[in-house]
Amino acid sequence: MILETERLRLRELTAEDRPALCAILQDAEVMYAYAHAFSDREVDDWLQNQLDRYRRDGFGLWAVVRKSDGAVIGQCGLTWQQWGERRVLEVGYLFRRAAWHQGYAAEAARACRDYAFSVLGAAEVFSIIRDNNGPSRRVAERNGMAVRGGLVKHYYGLEMPHVVYSVRREEI
């Protein structure tokens, strides 16, 4: 286990988590900010990418396990992202639709933010969110983040505007 909150445990993803990942990544409604639900191959690549991050960086997106029933309800964690010329530490999160609107994303994201500051020694933590993703933007704001700028990602042949949020250690 990496982190624990009142209702959640965060741990590294494993191959056994693939069905739970499919329930998230292959749900078109959950993945609307990505403009498509993932194929089996894309799920496998996503999982491998997290495993590679754990080895390379010591962190990545982690499985979010609900304590009350042991269910993997999402993923939340820290990844390196590019913002212009800067390499920034991002808190990212994706949850099953059944876990939406219950405060899980904010709870997990806050724990990851605090981990970045206290364990990794980060001075600033970011969330880069598609501009039309209101719920994720509200999680960033509940996490104490403010808008710092924007960027456009090119993905699946689309231009996707994103809002760049961050919080600095001294702001929490």
pLDDT in tens, 72-89: 999 999 999 999 999 999
Number of domains present in the structure of the chain:
1
**pLDDT above 70: percentage of residues in the chain:** 100
> How buried is 6 (Cβ within 10 angstroms: 0-12 exposed, 13-18 middle, 19+ buried)?
exposed
Mean pLDDT value across residues 38-51: 98
In a domain, 158, yes or no: no
Residue type, 11: R
> How buried is 145 (Cβ within 10 angstroms: 0-12 exposed, 13-18 middle, 19+ buried)?
buried
SS3 116: helix
Answer with the residue of higher pLDDT: 33 or 64.
64
Say what the pLDDT of residue 157 is.
Answer: 87
CATH label of the domain that carries residue 98? 3.40.630.30
Domain span at 25: 3-121
- Cα distance between residue 124 and residue 46, in whole Å: 25
In a domain, 139, yes or no: no
Distances (CA, A) of 16 to 2, 21, 52: 17, 10, 16
Instruction: Report strand pairing: 146-155 vs 158-168.
Output: antiparallel
Please tell me what DSSP assigns to residue 89: E
10-31, pLDDT tens digit by residue?
999 999 999 999 999 999 999 9
Task: Inform me whether the pLDDT recorded for 156 exceeds 90.
Answer: no
In a domain, 88, yes or no: yes
Task: Inform me whether the pLDDT recorded for 58 exceeds 90.
Answer: yes
95-153, pLDDT tens digit by residue?
999 999 999 999 999 999 999 999 999 999 999 999 999 999 999 999 999 999 999 99
**pLDDT above 90: percentage of residues in the chain:** 97
Say what the pLDDT of residue 121 is.
Answer: 98
Query: Across the chain, what does the average pLDDT equal?
Result: 97
In a domain, 164, yes or no: no
Say what the pLDDT of residue 162 is.
Answer: 98
